[in-house]
C-alpha cells in the first residue's frame, strides 16, 4: 500500500468545507489554525508524505530562521498548497 496524505484523500469525499484545518507547528508541535501560519516549502528539509515538503511555522521569526537553515520559500497556506492542487485536480478549492 502506498502512503497517502489523509487530507488529499478526504477532500474529494467532503460534502461541505471543514470548519478549520489545524497543522502542527514545526518547532513547538502545537496545533495551530492553518490560516494563521507561514509555510516553509521547496527547501532542503525532506518531507514526510510529499516530494514538495511544507512545514508549518507559527510566526515570522520562526519562518525566517527555518528559511535560513533549509532554504526554500516562505508562503501563506493557500500559496504553498497551490502545487498540490495542480498535481491532484480532484481536490476542491
In order of 11, 61, 65, the CA distances from 84 in angstroms are 12, 26, 25
Domain residues for 63? 21-87
Report if residue 14 sits inside a domain.
no
**Which pTM value belongs to this model?**
0.65
Sign of torsion over alpha carbons 14, 17, 18, 22: positive
Report if residue 26 sits inside a domain. yes
pLDDT of residue 82: 75
Q: Considering the domain boundaries, does residue 38 fall inside one? A: yes
Give domain status of residue 51, yes or no. yes
Report yes or no on 15 lying in a domain: no
Q: 16 lies in a domain?
A: no
Q: How many domains does the chain have?
A: 1
Q: Whole-number mean pLDDT of the chain? A: 76
Q: Is residue 70 part of a domain?
A: yes
Q: What are 34-70's pLDDT values in tens digits?
A: 888 887 877 888 877 777 788 889 999 998 999 999 9
73 belongs to a structural domain: yes
Amino acid at each position: 500500500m502506498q502512503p497517502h496524505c489523509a487530507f488529499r484523500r478526504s477532500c474529494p469525499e467532503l460534502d461541505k468545507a471543514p470548519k478549520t484545518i489545524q497543522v502542527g507547528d514545526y518547532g513547538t508541535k502545537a496545533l495551530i489554525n492553518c490560516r494563521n501560519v507561514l509555510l516553509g516549502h521547496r527547501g532542503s528539509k525532506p518531507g514526510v508524505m510529499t516530494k514538495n515538503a511544507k512545514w508549518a511555522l507559527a510566526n515570522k521569526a520562526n519562518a525566517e530562521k527555518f528559511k535560513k537553515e533549509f532554504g526554500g520559500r516562505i508562503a501563506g497556506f493557500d500559496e504553498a498548497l497551490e502545487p498540490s492542487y495542480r498535481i491532484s485536480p480532484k481536490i476542491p478549492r
